[in-house]
Amino acid sequence: MKPDHAQPRPLSQAQPPVCVLKLGSSVLETDADYQAAAQEVFRHVRRGEKVIAVVSALAGQTDALLAQGERVGGNGAEPHPAFLARLARVGELQSAALMGLALARVGLRTRVMDPDEMGLMAEGEPLDSDLASVDRDALHSALSLNEVLVVPGFTAQHAKHGVVTLGRGGTDLTAVFFAAEAGAARVRLIKDVDGVYAEDPAQNPDAERYAELDYGKAAEASKGLIQPKAIWAARDAGVVIEIAAMGAAEATRICSAPARKAPARPQRPLRVALLGCGAVGAGVLAHLKARPELFELNPVLVRRPETREGEAGVVFTADLDRALAHRPDLVIEAMGGADYPATIMEGVLASGASVVTANKAALARHYDGLHAAARQGGGRLAYSASVGGGTPILEALERLVRAGGVRRIEGVMNGTANFLLDRLAEGANFDAAVKRAQALGFAEADPAADVDGHDAADKLSLLIREAFAIAVDPADIPKDSLADVSADKVQRAREEGLAYKQIGLCELLPDGTLKAEVRVRPVPLNHPLAGARNEENRFVITGSDHAVHALFGKGAGRWPTAAAVFADVMDIQRRLSEPEAQSKARKGEPDRPLRLRA
C-alpha cells in the first residue's frame, strides 16, 4: 500500500436540492429553542439538501417593539411608518444572528445575510410591502459555499422608504419568495401545530387534520396560521407549502389538489435508555429533555451516579438492568470502549429495540454481529455520528452508492488529530497541543487512539463497509503516528506551501483489490483537505462516474456529535410513530427487562 500523492480532480459543480424552512415565533419562544431549530435544519442537511432558513423574531418581540415605537413616536400622533418599520425589523435581524450561532455550534457551514447584503427589494407601503426581487447571484454564491443560508423574514429594502416590513406573518411570505427564487418545489413552514385542522385542536382534541388542501381552501381553513399573501404567492409561483411541527414526518400540503383528511396517528412517547453521560451523552441528554412530549427517559447509566445528583428531571444509576428496565423502544449507547458495549447492543437489538451509537470502535470490531442482531430483532441500528461527528458522510455515501457507486474516499476524519497538527503548525510542542485538546474536550485522557491513527482506521473500516461492502479489520490498515511528526517539520512544510494532515484513504483499484491506509502527510494548501481547521473533518469522495464530491463539518466536540446522534434518534422516533409501527408495538410485560446476550 503506497501513499498516494496524486492531485485531486476538480470538485463537481452540481448543486444539491434546496429546502426552504421557515422557523416562526410560535417555535422560537426562548433562546433554548434555537438548538431545536438547529437540529431541524441539520436533519435536512444530512439528507443532502442545502437549506435556506427563514426566521422570525422571538415570540412577543415584534409586538414589544411596535408598542415601544407607539410610545415614543405616537402619544396622540401617528408614528412615522418608515421609522416604525425600521424598528420592527430588529427582532428578525437579532433572531437570524442567533440562528447562525446555534448552527455554527453543531458544525454546519452557515452564512447569515441581511436584506441589504442580498439585494432583497420590496414594493408597497412601509408596514405592508410585497417582495419584488433579490440578487440571485449573491443567493446562489452563498448556497454554493455553505450548507445553510439564514435569512431574516418579515423585512426587506425599499427604493423609497429604505426599510420596510411585509405585514403580519410576513416571514411566511419571505419563505415562499425564497423557495420560488431558489427553484425549490416546496417550502416547509414550521409551526407549533403539525398541520392545518378542520377545527381548532386546542378546543377539540379529536379535530381532523388535513393531509392536503388547495390554495383557496387553505386560505379559509388556516386563518391566523399562515399569512394569506404567502398562500397566493405560493399558488402563483407553483410552490407547495407544507405546514409541519418541529421534527415531524407528516405535514399538511397546500397545493393544487382537492382537500383530503389525514388518517389518525395515535402516538405515544418512546421509552429511551441512555447508556453513558460523558461529553456527547450529556449533549444528547439535553436534546432528550427538551422534547418530553416525544421521549420518556429511563434512569441514565453512569459510573458514579452520586456525582450527578441535583439534575432536575433525571435519575442516574450505575445499574445496567435498571437503565434497561421497562423494555425501552430505543437505547442510546454513549459508553465508549468496544467489546462490552457491543455485547450490550447486540442483546438490545436481538430483543427488538433500536440502537443509536457513535461508537466506531464497537462497530468496526463487531459490525457483522450487530447487524445480524438488528435483523433478528427487527429494530434499527443507527450510527451516523460514528464517522465524521457532525459531518454526514455515511448518508452521503448511501446516496452515492444508490446512484451508481463509489471509487475512492479520502478524508481528514479525526478532528482531534487535525486540531493537534494545527497547533504544531502554530509552533506549539506536542504535549502542550494534547493538553489543549483535552481541555477543550476534543481529546480523551489517553489520546493514543487519535494520535496513532487507530480511531481513523476504525472509521475507515466503516466507510469501506458502506462504500464497497468489504470487511477490513482496522488492525490490518497501515497507520502513521502523529508522534513521529515534529513541530519543526510541520512548520517547515507550511512555509513551503504544504499542510500536514492525518488522511484516511480507501480506493477500489482497477484490478478489484482495495487500497486502505491512514497516513500523516503533507498536501498542497490548495488541496480540498488542506483547509480543514481545528476539529473539522473533510471528505472527498470520487464516484464511479468520476464526479468528485466534498463534505465538511466538525468531527469532534460535544455538540456536533450530539447533533448527529440525536438526528438518528429523531429518525427512529418518526419511523416508530407511523401507524403501522404503532400497531406492531411490543405488548410484553411493561417491567420485563431486555434480554442481554451472555
Confidence grade of residue 579 (pLDDT, cut at 50, 70, 90): low
Q: Is the pLDDT of residue 589 over 50?
A: no
pLDDT digits (tens, 9 = 90+) for 273-310: 999 999 899 999 999 999 998 999 999 999 999 888 77
Catalytic residues: 459
Q: In this structure, is residue 192 part of a structural domain?
A: yes
* Section 254-278 average pLDDT: 89
Same domain, 245 and 279: no
Number of domains in the chain: 3
Write out the three cell numbers for 306: 452520586
CATH number at residue 317: 3.40.50.720
> What residue numbers bound the domain in which 431 lies?
393-555
Q: In this structure, is residue 10 part of a structural domain?
A: no
Q: In whole angstroms, what is the distance from residue 53 CA to residue 175 CA?
A: 8
Strand order in the sheet with 240-245: 110-112, 148-152, 50-55, 18-23, 186-191, 240-245, 252-254, 210-213, 260-261
Same domain, 191 and 244: yes
Same domain, 244 and 205: yes
Q: In this structure, is residue 8 part of a structural domain?
A: no
Write out the three cell numbers for 209: 387534520
Strand order in the sheet with 514-524: 514-524, 498-508, 406-412, 536-543, 548-554
Same domain, 381 and 522: no
Q: In whole angstroms, what is the distance from residue 455 CA to residue 464 CA?
A: 14
Top mean pLDDT of 11-25, 402-416, 544-558 is at 402-416
Helix locations, 146-237, DSSP H: 170-182, 215-221, 228-237
Same domain, 531 and 564: no
Q: In whole angstroms, what is the distance from residue 437 CA to residue 478 CA?
A: 25
Contact 115, 155 (CB under 8 A): yes
Domain boundary among the residues 207, 227, 261 is at 261
pLDDT digits (tens, 9 = 90+) for 77-123: 889 999 999 999 999 999 999 999 999 999 899 999 999 999 999 99
Q: At what angle do helices 33-45 and 558-576 cross, to 10 degrees?
A: 70
Q: Cα angle at 241 between 565 and 245, to 5 degrees?
A: 40
CATH number at residue 71: 3.40.1160.10
CATH number at residue 465: 3.30.360.10
Q: In this structure, is residue 32 part of a structural domain?
A: yes
Q: In this structure, is residue 11 part of a structural domain?
A: no
Same domain, 236 and 354: no
Q: In this structure, is residue 595 part of a structural domain?
A: no
Same domain, 416 and 452: yes
Q: In this structure, is residue 592 part of a structural domain?
A: no
Top mean pLDDT of 258-262, 317-321, 574-578 is at 317-321
Same domain, 236 and 327: no
Same domain, 284 and 192: no
Q: Cα angle at 310 between 325 and 30, to 5 degrees?
A: 95
Q: In whole angstroms, what is the distance from residue 215 CA to residue 11 CA?
A: 41
Neighbour count for residue 87 (Cβ, 10 Å):
19
Amino acid at 267: Q
Amino acid at 386: S
Same domain, 221 and 352: no
Same domain, 449 and 378: no
3-state secondary structure 220-266: HHCCCCCCHHHHHHHHHHCCEEEEEECCCCCCEEECCCCCEECCCCC
Q: In this structure, is residue 598 part of a structural domain?
A: no
Confidence grade of residue 552 (pLDDT, cut at 50, 70, 90): confident
Same domain, 80 and 169: yes
pLDDT digits (tens, 9 = 90+) for 439-473: 887 777 888 999 999 999 999 999 999 999 999 99
Q: Is the pLDDT of residue 596 over 80?
A: no
